[in-house]
């Protein structure tokens, strides 16, 4: 029999001793504001920020709660504060193509000034033009043109009247112009009298009309040409007065923005449009409003619409008060939030819009700086990834109308000039979303060339422990709590180690630590304490677990009442206590599970009942196949294996997965074949390979505590314990009551490396080793199994056995 040493209680947890620290409370400490234990990720992230070339966007991967978003925001803001402020952007009216607004770029703060200057310019121009067009000088010049035209018009009309009289027609005037009225019997006739004329009289009038038209046509054409000439001279007069009036204002603003070539071109276009539409500037505002009130409804426009709207400036990005490059963090990256949108008004049953209704998005705000987004939001919000990749790929913000993409409703749309995009995207998410995007978009790796991987754990070094103490101090200052004494700091360190499930590691999920700190402060406050101690930390952890352990308690009730059958003493053939971990999301707990095996002659091999019932996962199925390999390698070298075996997790109705019970199932099968009973006061966990070596599993701490709790309720006998893989020893972070029980010798933990060690512990019988001839000792476990399988092989051939 091998001597299997149980674990000493000192190996069950890496305790933190207050005497290891040189302070009594966090009052003596300085706060730590940086990220802790993420050197690789920090190095990758800082390098990604430093690279300014295309495609060097950053994906920050890792579990939630490791401080990725906070670190990204804080450190990006530090760098951005040292970088230049990006340019301002405006949209203005395109006078040649009104549906395609023009984007103008300015130095920081100049965009706002330009908007104000344009507003002032239009105010001055409206005032001055109204003044000049109502001046005596303008009226005199206009009268000179009109006077000459009217004199010549009178002469021509007199000549036309004389010519018409020769053919018995009279020249008449109306609002629509001039017309000719026939004269019959010395008197002009109206339409009613014209209808009563005889055919001969009508024919005579029409013949005279043709002769008259030939004669007066020359005069009429001359009159028309003269009117056109008059209109041209009036337009030239208006333009001359308008140009001289607004010229100085235009020259001033042009000179002010002479360094902006496109702005100068726009100002020139504004001037030309004003001179082409001087009629709007010639009337008093009240008069225009009266006219517009009557005309605009006919045009499908609002009565209060500003006729000078097209001279406005839509300031999309204003950096007049900015310091450094922008850093924008969003948790709602919808298409419109990212790209911006064009708003619409409903007017008389139709939708209308213009360049002033273009609203900026997050891309505009972050342009020239940094945009921090969450991968889950990008992947789950419709069109978010498409808009993000488009901006990254094209390096421009192209505000296509989302209505055109999604809606069947016809609405007028604008195509604003795209704005060049120079921004770095920082995406924060899990490994799952990284793989999802990488597999779903072949260009993802080209867009996000830097991956900053945040680890769930860090080494338990003196340096990192000191940083956690500083983190606690920063929490005290930020949340304005009372101080934590050194025992509380030790309790937090031990909790962090337990959360990491390693004695030599600490958890980097600092949001969980913050929850413990905050709740401990609340408990201390409720007790009226002046400082937070380890007792408050322990109470917080127990209370937090108690809020989450309803399912565990219901399961334990069924164990207590033998609804779920588990033995914790005695010995039975083909029955063993396995250990499982149940994951309730934010809470894990271990529980024992009865595993049974039956063996008999046959050729079906090992049948996993869970698999047959479709309740087994792939990893568990693999573990069963490994057991088949071990049995064949160990026992079936001289004869074929004629074995039928059924293995079952009794009273399992929710399914099973993982290979941590493969060694447990193997022990159970060996017990059935050897007909040797297994101790029921021991529970087992551990994976096995085809060579019989015991491999590490997960959740070892919770599994031990689950079986311990059951044994404690039924009464500790001093013999109960758990068999675990030796490679899991460093992952033990057990509760104090378990450690105390081991120390008192009433509970035992056995680390093993090979299946034979477990066989001897469970069955109290030598496992047995092959001799030089390849035979096991007859009085060993393996020898008994060998003989049983040998007899099975003979029976399968019809041969007689004992």
Total-model pTM: 0.81
Task: Flag residues of the chain having pLDDT under 50.
Answer: 285-286, 288-289, 291-305, 408
| Cβ atoms within 10 Å, residue 12 | 23
Strand order through the sheet with 424-429 = 327-329, 370-374, 424-429, 58-61, 450-453
- The per-residue pLDDT for 599 is 95
| Cβ atoms within 10 Å, residue 381 | 18
- The per-residue pLDDT for 283 is 64
3-state secondary structure 324-391: CCCEEECCCCCHHHHHCEECCEEECCEEECCHHHEECCHHHHHCCCEEEEEHHHHHHCCCHHHHHHHH
Positive or negative: CA dihedral 190, 196, 202, 208: negative
Cα dist. 390→330, 373, 381, 568 in Å? 18, 15, 16, 64
For residue 153, with 0-12 CB atoms within 10 Å meaning exposed, 13-18 middle and 19 or more buried, which class applies? Answer: middle
- The per-residue pLDDT for 208 is 73
3-state secondary structure 698-766: CCHHHHHHHHHHHHHHHCCCCCCEEEEEHHHHHHCCCCHHHHHHHHCCCCEEEEECEHHHHHHHHHCCC
The C-alpha atoms of residue 419 and residue 398 are separated, in whole angstroms, by 7
- The per-residue pLDDT for 278 is 86
The C-alpha atoms of residue 355 and residue 314 are separated, in whole angstroms, by 7
Which two structure tokens, joined as six digits, stand for 178?
């001039």
| Cβ atoms of 564 and 606 closer than 8 Å | no
| Cβ atoms of 425 and 329 closer than 8 Å | no
Q: What is the largest CA-CA distance in the chain?
A: 155
The C-alpha atoms of residue 264 and residue 114 are separated, in whole angstroms, by 12
The C-alpha atoms of residue 276 and residue 268 are separated, in whole angstroms, by 12
For residue 796, with 0-12 CB atoms within 10 Å meaning exposed, 13-18 middle and 19 or more buried, which class applies? Answer: middle
* Tokens 């919770």 belong to residue: 702
Helix orientation angle between 68-80 and 39-50, rounded to the nearest 10 degrees: 40
The C-alpha atoms of residue 27 and residue 563 are separated, in whole angstroms, by 53
* Tokens 């299946």 belong to residue: 755
Which two structure tokens, joined as six digits, stand for 371?
């945009």
| Cβ atoms within 10 Å, residue 518 | 13
- The per-residue pLDDT for 304 is 39
What are residue 579's DSSP bridge partners? Answer: 592
* Tens-place pLDDT, residues 117-171: 999 999 999 998 988 888 888 888 888 877 777 667 767 677 777 777 777 777 7
Long-range contacts of 109-115 (CB under 8 A, 24+ apart): 109/318, 109/319, 109/320, 109/321, 111/87, 111/315, 111/317, 111/318, 111/319, 111/320, 112/88, 112/315, 112/318, 112/320, 113/320, 114/90, 114/257, 114/263, 114/313, 115/90, 115/313, 115/315
Of the CA atoms within 13 Å of residue 318, those in its CB half-sphere come to 11
Nearest-10 Cα torsion for 729, 735, 739, 744? -150
| Cβ atoms of 70 and 372 closer than 8 Å | no
User: Phi/psi at 343 (nearest 5 deg)?
Assistant: -80, 160
Three-class SS state of 396: strand
Cα dist. 624→286, 608, 696 in Å? 93, 7, 17
Three-class SS state of 408: coil
Who contacts 264 (Cβ-Cβ below 8 Å, separation ≥6)?
254, 257, 258
């Amino acid at each position: 029999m091998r001597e299997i040493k149980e674990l000493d209680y000192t190996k069950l947890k890496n305790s933190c001793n207050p005497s290891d620290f040189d302070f009594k409370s966090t009052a003596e400490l300085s706060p730590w504001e940086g990220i802790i234990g993420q050197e690789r990720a920090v190095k990758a992230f800082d390098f990604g920020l430093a690279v300014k070339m295309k495609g060097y966007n950053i994906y920050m991967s890792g579990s939630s709660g490791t401080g990725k978003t906070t670190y990204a925001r804080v450190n990006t803001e530090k760098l951005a504060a040292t970088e230049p402020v990006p340019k301002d952007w405006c949209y203005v009216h395109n006078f040649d193509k009104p549906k395609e607004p023009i984007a103008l770029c300015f130095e920081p703060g100049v965009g706002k000034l330009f908007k104000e200057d344009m507003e002032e310019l239009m105010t001055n121009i409206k005032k001055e033009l109204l003044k000049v067009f109502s001046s005596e000088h303008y009226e005199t010049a206009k009268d000179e043109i009109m006077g000459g035209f009217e004199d010549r018009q009178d002469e021509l009309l007199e000549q036309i009247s004389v010519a018409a009289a020769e053919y018995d027609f009279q020249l008449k005037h109306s609002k629509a112009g001039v017309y000719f009225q026939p004269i019959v019997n010395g008197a002009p006739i109206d339409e009613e009298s014209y209808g009563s004329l005889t055919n001969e009289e009508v024919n005579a009038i029409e013949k005279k009309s043709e002769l008259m038209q030939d004669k007066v046509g020359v005069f009429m054409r001359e009159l028309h040409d003269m009117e056109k000439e008059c209109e041209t001279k009036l337009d030239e007069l208006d333009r001359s007065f308008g140009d001289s009036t607004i010229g100085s204002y235009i020259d001033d603003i042009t000179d002010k923005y002479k360094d902006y070539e496109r702005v100068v071109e726009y100002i020139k276009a504004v001037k030309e449009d004003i001179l082409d539409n001087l009629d709007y500037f010639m009337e008093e505002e009240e008069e225009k409003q009266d006219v517009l009130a009557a005309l605009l409804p006919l045009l499908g426009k609002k009565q209060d619409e500003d006729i000078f709207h097209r001279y406005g400036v839509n300031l999309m990005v204003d950096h007049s008060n900015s310091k450094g490059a922008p850093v924008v963090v969003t948790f709602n990256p919808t298409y419109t939030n990212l790209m911006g949108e064009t708003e619409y008004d409903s007017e008389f049953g139709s939708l209308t819009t213009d360049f002033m209704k273009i609203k900026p998005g997050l891309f505009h705000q972050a342009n020239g700086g940094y945009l921090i987004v969450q991968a889950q939001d990008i992947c789950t919000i419709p069109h978010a990834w498409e808009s993000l990749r488009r901006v990254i790929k094209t390096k421009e913000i192209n505000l296509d109308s989302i209505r055109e993409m999604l809606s069947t409703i016809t609405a007028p749309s604008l195509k604003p000039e795209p704005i060049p995009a120079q921004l770095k995207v920082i995406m924060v998410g899990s490994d799952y979303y990284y793989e999802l995007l990488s597999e779903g978009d072949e260009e993802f790796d080209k867009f996000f060339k830097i991956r900053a991987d945040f680890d769930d754990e860090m080494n338990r070094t003196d340096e990192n422990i000191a940083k956690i103490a500083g983190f606690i101090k920063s929490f005290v200052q930020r949340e304005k709590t009372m101080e934590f004494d050194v025992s509380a700091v030790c309790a937090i360190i031990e909790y962090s180690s337990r959360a990491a499930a390693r004695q030599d590691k600490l958890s980097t999920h600092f949001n969980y630590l913050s929850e413990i700190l905050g709740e401990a402060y609340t408990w201390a406050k409720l007790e009226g304490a002046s400082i937070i101690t380890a007792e408050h930390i322990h109470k917080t952890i127990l209370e937090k677990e108690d809020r989450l352990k309803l399912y565990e308690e219901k399961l334990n009730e069924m164990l207590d009442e033998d609804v779920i059958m588990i033995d914790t003493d005695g010995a039975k053939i083909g029955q063993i206590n396995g250990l499982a971990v149940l994951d309730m999301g934010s809470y894990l707990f271990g529980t024992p599970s009865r595993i049974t095996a039956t063996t008999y002659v046959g050729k079906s091999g090992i049948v996993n009942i869970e698999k047959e019932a479709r309740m087994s996962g792939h990893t568990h199925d693999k573990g069963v196949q490994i057991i088949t390999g071990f049995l064949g390698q160990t026992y079936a070298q001289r004869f074929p294996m004629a074995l039928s075996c059924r293995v079952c997790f009794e009273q399992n109705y929710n399914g099973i997965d993982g290979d941590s019970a493969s060694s447990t199932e193997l022990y159970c099968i060996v017990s059935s074949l050897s007909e040797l009973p297994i101790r029921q006061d021991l529970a087992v966990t551990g994976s096995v390979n085809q060579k019989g070596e015991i491999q590490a599993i997960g959740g070892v701490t919770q599994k031990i505590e689950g079986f311990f709790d059951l044994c404690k309720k039924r009464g500790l006998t001093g013999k109960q314990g758990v068999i675990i893989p030796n490679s899991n020893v460093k992952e033990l972070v057990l509760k104090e009551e378990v450690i105390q029980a081991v120390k008192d010798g009433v509970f035992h933990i056995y680390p093993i490396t090979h299946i034979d060690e477990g066989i001897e512990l469970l069955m109290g019988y030598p496992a047995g080793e092959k001799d030089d001839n390849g035979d096991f000792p007859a009085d060993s476990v393996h020898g008994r199994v060998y003989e049983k399988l040998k007899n099975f092989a003979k029976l399968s051939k019809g041969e007689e056995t004992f």
